[in-house]
Structure 1
Amino acid sequence: MHIILKCLKGRSTSAEVDDTTSIIDLKRKVERDLRIPISQQTLIVSGSPLHDDKKVGDYPKIKEGMKLYVIVKKAESVQEALGRFLKNYYSDEQCQSIVDEFMKDFQRKVSNLSLDDLERIAIMNLNQQ
């Protein structure tokens, strides 16, 4: 069956699926076609989120020609990710202190990069995508 995967921002892609197509495969298609990382996607059908470990056949509401909506979650910042990780090992005060020092060091190192360095980093990342 043919379905449409539509972003709320207006972009969309389509997919040919059957009952055995996994939801994670649909997310991979969205990542390829719309350049939205899988970790930032939530697929919605009739107001309900679809789970990565399920298949299209597990959702009887998905029919021929149906639109599944792609909700894009805000990417987690480096500070948020580091703080969340450190909370497993340190107190809140210690976490904040470590994150602050890390960000100061990071900003110092980035500000010392030349434009050529930044261009090389950008090209390297674009080539990986």
Structure 2
Amino acid sequence: MQITIKVLKGQDCLLEVLPTSTILEVKQQIEGELQISAANQKLLLMGRPLNNDQTIASYPNIKQGTKLNLVVMKPCLRDSILRGFRKHFPEQQSERLTNEFMADFERKLTEQSLDDLERFADSIVSRVPT
């Protein structure tokens, strides 16, 4: 069956899906069509989010011609770092470098005192134009 994906503030995308397709598989199709990471997608039907583990058939309101809304969420820090490494390194090395970076980042973050974090936050807030 064909369904339409409506990207909020973006274009529409027509997909061919099976009743047995999971929502995650639909998101992966969208990733292939629109180059929006499946991890950054939230699919909505009548304003309600769809569960990645559920199939199309488990939502009786999804039928031929149904329009699903796609909300694109901002990527997390890890996704941004991984995307940067992918520009310069093969996938496996990018994953390894990202994991090492995140472990080092978290280790250094936990070494900071609350006073250090507060000073850091104040310095960022003071740079934001009002």
**Taking structure 2 as the reference length, what is the TM-score of the superposition?**
0.60
SS at 1:86 equivalent: helix
The question of 1:86 aligning with 2:106 is answered yes
Alignment of 1:88-127 (within 5 A): 90=110, 93=113
Residue identity opposite 1:86 in structure 2:
E
Taking every aligned residue pair, what percent have the same amino acid on both sides? Answer: 32
Query: Where does the alignment leave 5 or more consecutive residues of structure 1 unmatched?
Result: 101-129
Contact 1:11–1:34 (8 Å) recurs in 2 = no
SS at 1:64 equivalent: coil
SS at 2:113 equivalent: helix
- Write out per-residue CA displacement over residues 2-45 of structure 1, whole angstroms, 9 at most, x where no aligned residue: 10011012212111223211111110111011110011000000
CA-based RMSD of the aligned residues comes to: 3.1
SS at 2:27 equivalent: helix
Q: Equivalents in 1 of 2:68, 2:51: separation in Å?
A: 13
Alignment of 1:49-88 (within 5 A): 49-77=49-77, 82=102, 86=106
> Cα–Cα, structure 1 residues 43 and 36, in superposed 2: closer, same or farther, change >3 Å?
same
Alignment of 1:17-36 (within 5 A): 17-36=17-36
How many positions carry a matched residue from both structures?
94
SS at 2:33 equivalent: helix
Q: Equivalents in 1 of 2:113, 2:61: separation in Å?
A: 48
Q: Equivalents in 2 of 1:92, 1:45: separation in Å?
A: 43
- Write out per-residue CA displacement over residues 50-92 of structure 1, whole angstroms, 9 at most, x where no aligned residue: 111110011111121111111000112359x959x838x9376
**Taking structure 1 as the reference length, what is the TM-score of the superposition?**
0.61
Residue identity opposite 1:73 in structure 2:
M
User: Could you tell me which residue of structure 1 aligns to residue 94 of structure 2?
Assistant: none
SS at 2:110 equivalent: coil
Q: Equivalents in 2 of 1:12, 1:26: separation in Å?
A: 14
Q: Equivalents in 2 of 1:92, 1:54: separation in Å?
A: 42
